[in-house]
Amino acid sequence: MSAFITSSSFKGETRAVPSLPMEAHQQAVLAARAEHPERPLFVLYVGAADDKGKSWCGDCNDIKTNLGKLPKNSMILECQVTREEWKNTPGGEHPLRSQRFANVAGVPTLVLYGVVRPIASLVEQEILDEVLVKAMVDL
């Protein structure tokens, strides 16, 4: 998969994390937190991007400019989901939607992590709201 964030306005450090299996996803997030306990850590759940960084998810593409409002010293873990796995998973339930660790209601979702767990999240159009993004950053 191509990097979605590299075509955004975010200037901090980014890493890709797997969406599945959930154990690998959780380990990647917790490892990043342990490696950089002092930095703001965000996980961005987005629709998978093509080779130009464009997602199949229109709302995901819309948020790219607002990602530049996140602190430069922060890290974003980019978790891409394919349209097939997000929309057509048997029973309509991607594990990210139902897992207590992630609880992703839709894409895009931006999650701010505390010491060991999420402390705030913004979903879809909320990420375009500058007031909500600033409130999340100020936590």
* Stretch among 3-12, 36-45, 80-89, 112-121 having the lowest mean pLDDT: 80-89
Interval 2-23: pLDDT, tens: 678 888 889 999 999 998 888 8
The CATH number that applies at residue 115 is 3.40.30.10
Interval 108-132: pLDDT, tens: 999 999 887 888 999 999 999 999 9
Q: Within a 10 A sphere around the Cβ of 6, how many other Cβ atoms? A: 11
Domain that holds residue 16: 5-137
Q: What is the model's pLDDT at position 2?
A: 64
Q: What is the model's pLDDT at position 99?
A: 65
What would the mean pLDDT of 56-78 be, rounded to a whole number? 94
Q: Which residues contact 127 (CB under 8 A, 6 or more apart)?
A: 63, 66, 108, 110, 133
Percentage of the chain modeled with pLDDT above 70? 91
Interval 90-109: pLDDT, tens: 555 777 877 665 678 889 99
Residue 124 φ/ψ region, left for φ over 0, alpha for ψ in the -120 to 50 degree band, beta for the rest? left
Model confidence, pTM? 0.90
Please give the Cα distance from 76 to 12 (Å, whole number). 8
Q: How many domains is the chain built from? A: 1
pLDDT(88) > 90: no
